[in-house]
Every structure is written in structure tokens, then in C-alpha cells.
């Protein structure tokens, strides 16, 4: 929680922001996001592209690689990786720059498109985690807990939510 508060300050987000925690226990995937007025709507996805303090701080404090991703279904998808507090990799794909293959039979079906998306940044990240790309895109819909970061409430404690995840 303290790292999330520090990230709020570094990223210039409002103090009344929330830490949203979504956990996919089957693959031990934890989605953390700083949610508030800054992250609402399409503009919010763009905010996350430029504000990576939480991922950077977590990677340094916990000693693991932290992946951060942004998905704007109309414009782009981006994955960034942080290790030991440093940006260590990532990729951005602008959808208007994607070249669809020319098919001999003139058909490019949904299955072929899904195989193509599997090679895009979110598809590769899904492969790293051992899940489908669609799961990453819907991760914000799994059971979610919102924790206030302004120091007034912390129920349930974050440690309780993460019990059994760390290995």
C-alpha cells in the first residue's frame, strides 16, 4: 500500500485514488491499477502509458519482473517490463500500422486473426503467463477489490488478499 501511495505522488495522481486489485489465482496473476479521475475512459489508458511508477517501484521492492500493459482497442496495445526498478523491455503496436496478410483464397477469418494477435504484445504477454490473450483483456472483470490510498480505510488488508499467491 505504501508503494502505491508513493507511486501516486510520483505520477502526480490525485490523493483520493484507489488501488484496484484483481487476482486470477489459477495462474497467480495479480492486476494492480491506480484508479481515479486520471484513469477514466479512453484517456485513462493513455495515462497508464506515461505513468509507470507503481510497476517500477514494485519491481524494485519485490525483486520480480513486473509487466505493465495498456490496451486501447481503437489505437494501440503496449506492454512494458520493469525489473529491479528499471525499464527492461516492452513493445507498442499501433493498430493502424498492422498489415493484414493477403490471402490466396481471399478470406481472413477470425481464427487467422486470433493467431495474428497472439504475436502482438498482449498475445506474447499472455503466452508468458500461460493464459489466453482474452483473459488479460478481461482481467479487470475478475473479482476485484478497491482499496483507498488516502490512509482512511484498508479493509481487507492487501496482505490478506494476496495470501496464497506468492510462491
- Return all residues near 48 (Cβ < 8 A) that are at least 6 apart: 33, 39, 68, 70
The residue written with cell numbers 475512459 in the block is 41
* C-alpha span between 72 and 45 (Å, rounded): 6
Task: Give the model confidence (pLDDT) of 109-131 as tens digits.
Answer: 888 889 999 999 999 999 999 99
46 close to 38: Cβ distance less than 8 angstroms:
no
Task: Give the model confidence (pLDDT) of 58-84 as tens digits.
Answer: 999 999 999 999 999 999 999 999 999
**pTM of the shown model:** 0.86
Amino acid at each position: 500500500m505504501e508503494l502505491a501511495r508513493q507511486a501516486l505522488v510520483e505520477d502526480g495522481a490525485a490523493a483520493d485514488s484507489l488501488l484496484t486489485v484483481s487476482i486470477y489465482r489459477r495462474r497467480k496473476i495479480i492486476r494492480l491499477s491506480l484508479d481515479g479521475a486520471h484513469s477514466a475512459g479512453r484517456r485513462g489508458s493513455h495515462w497508464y502509458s506515461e505513468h509507470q511508477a507503481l510497476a517500477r517501484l514494485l519491481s524494485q521492492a519485490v525483486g520480480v519482473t513486473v509487466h505493465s500493459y495498456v490496451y486501447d482497442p481503437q489505437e494501440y496495445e503496449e506492454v512494458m517490463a520493469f525489473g529491479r526498478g528499471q525499464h527492461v523491455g516492452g513493445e507498442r503496436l499501433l493498430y493502424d500500422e498492422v498489415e493484414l496478410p493477403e490471402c490466396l483464397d481471399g478470406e481472413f477469418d477470425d481464427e487467422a486473426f486470433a493467431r495474428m494477435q497472439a504475436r502482438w504484445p498482449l498475445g506474447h504477454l499472455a503466452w508468458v503467463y500461460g493464459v489466453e490473450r482474452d483473459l488479460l483483456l478481461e482481467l479487470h472483470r475478475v473479482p476485484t477489490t478497491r482499496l483507498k490510498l488516502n490512509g482512511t480505510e484498508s479493509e481487507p488488508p492487501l496482505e490478506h488478499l494476496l495470501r496464497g499467491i506468492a510462491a
